[in-house]
Amino acid sequence: MPYVIAGPCIDTMDRSCVEECPVDCIYEGERKLYINPKECIDCGACEPVCPVEAISQDRRVADGEEAHVEDNRAFFTEVLDGRDEPLGAPGGAHKTGEIGVDTPLVAGL
């Protein structure tokens, strides 16, 4: 997974990153944004525009934020509450709109 969005995004969701992403791979949960690892092209356009510095490469997440690497993957591969199947890689966030649910890690905070 090239880039991930960590804890500082929770309940902030500025969405500047969504506007900068050239491949539309940033999806909106209820309280946090998530980068689809299969759709991200590792360009890094999202990282400098995040006002809370929540975005980083998966191998460079801030200390204490390591759980968000797996959490970002789980958003797309696990069946989330209220959904019948994993989100997978639908080919762009604009196709799905707001997902409206978060992973257990984020929902539990």
Distances (CA, A) of 101 to 40, 58, 76, 79, 108: 21, 22, 12, 11, 12
CA angle 41, 97, 100 (to 5 degrees): 105
φ/ψ (deg, to 5) at 88? 70, -140
pLDDT tens digits, 11-25? 998 999 999 999 999
Q: Does 105 map to a domain?
A: no
Mean confidence (pLDDT) of the chain: 93
| pLDDT value at residue 24 | 96
- For 70, the enclosing helix (H) or strand (E) is helix 67-77
Report the DSSP beta bridge partners of residue 35.
26
Could you list the residue range(s) of the whole structural domain that residue 45 is in? 3-93
Whether residue 23 lies inside any domain: the answer is yes
Return the pLDDT at 1: 56
For residue 107, is it within any domain?
no
Residue 90: predicted pLDDT:
92
The per-residue pLDDT for 34 is 97
CATH of the domain at 73: 3.30.70.20
pLDDT at 73: 94
Q: What is the mean pLDDT of residues 41-61?
A: 94
Confidence at residue 13, expressed as pLDDT on a 0 to 100 scale: 87
Residue 85: inside a domain, yes or no?
yes
Q: How many domains does the chain fold into?
A: 1
Q: Which residue is it, tokens 């390591």? A: 66
Mean pLDDT (whole number) for 62-71: 93
Q: Specify if 103 maps to a domain.
A: no
Residue 39 inside a domain? The answer is yes
pLDDT for 108: 85
